[in-house]
Amino acid sequence: MDKKILDLLNNKPEKGLEKLINTYSGLVYTIIYNKLNQYFSVEDIEECVSSVFYEVYKNRSVIDLSKGTLKAYIAVLSKRRAIDLFRKNSKHVTNLISLETQELEDCAVNQLFNVEDEVDTETKDMLIQAIKALGEPDSEIFIRKYYLGQNSKKISELMGIKQNTIDKRLSRGLSKLRAIVGNMEKPQEMEGK
């Protein structure tokens, strides 16, 4: 199916674009909506969705299906464009971070541990608990770094914490997360024996 869509995009662009949109519009809209709905209007979200399809169309000749599926490419592109829009407009967005927001936590977990969307809920919950167990300000630093993609300097400015302190907290936090996750897994391993 992916090859057929790419062939159509290259040989019959109008039909190819129509097939691409019909096949993947739900996926793209869902990803972008879930990331931006609290901060942006429906029009902004729809514009972001359109930009994803435009970018796929623009790059149609260089998409390499041997590196992955078209669906995966589009999903990653959708996440990136949503994050780009968020970053671009973050100065105008109020309530940037709410550590209780499940969506932010899920995305932070995915970014931090390179967790695929197919990972079971139990594992995601375990990682979210681990991030929360870091406490403040570490959990906020992790979400800013690994979800919002802010660099240490930006986090330092926004939180009023020295940049080298941010870097140390990230380093120590990774070690703590590994230990916390390891301890959470052990009881589950024992149950299986």
Q: Tell me the per-residue pLDDT of 125-136, one tens digit each, with 9 for 90 and over.
A: 667 777 777 778
Q: Tell me the per-residue pLDDT of 3-14, one tens digit each, with 9 for 90 and over.
A: 888 888 888 888
Tell me, yes or no, whether 106 and 84 share the same domain: no
Residue 114: which pLDDT band, with cuts at 50, 70 and 90? Answer: very low
* Structural domain boundaries, residue 27: 2-88
The answer on pLDDT for 47 being more than 80 is yes
Report the pLDDT averaged over residues 91-102. 43
Tell me, yes or no, whether 36 and 67 share the same domain: yes
Specify the higher pLDDT residue, 85 or 38: 85
30 located within any domain? yes
Tell me, yes or no, whether 79 and 142 share the same domain: no
* CATH number reported for the structural domain that contains residue 7 in this entry: 1.10.1740.10
- What pLDDT score was predicted for residue 95? 45
Domain boundary (88, 117, 142) is at 88
- Average model confidence (pLDDT) across the chain: 75
Print the SS3 string covering the chain: CHHHHHHHHHHCHHHHHHHHHHHHHHHHHHHHHHHHCCCCCHHHHHHHHHHHHHHHHHCCCCCCHHHCCHHHHHHHHHHHHHHHHHHHCCCCCCCCCCCCCHHHHHHHHHHHHCCCCCCCHHHHHHHHHHHHHCCCCHHHHHHHHHCCCCCHHHHHHHHCCCHHHHHHHHHHHHHHHHHHHHHHHHHHHHHHC
Its pTM stands at 0.49
Ranking 29-33, 105-109, 187-191 by mean pLDDT, the lowest is 187-191
Tell me, yes or no, whether 114 and 150 share the same domain: yes
Specify the higher pLDDT residue, 112 or 57: 57
- What pLDDT score was predicted for residue 90? 62
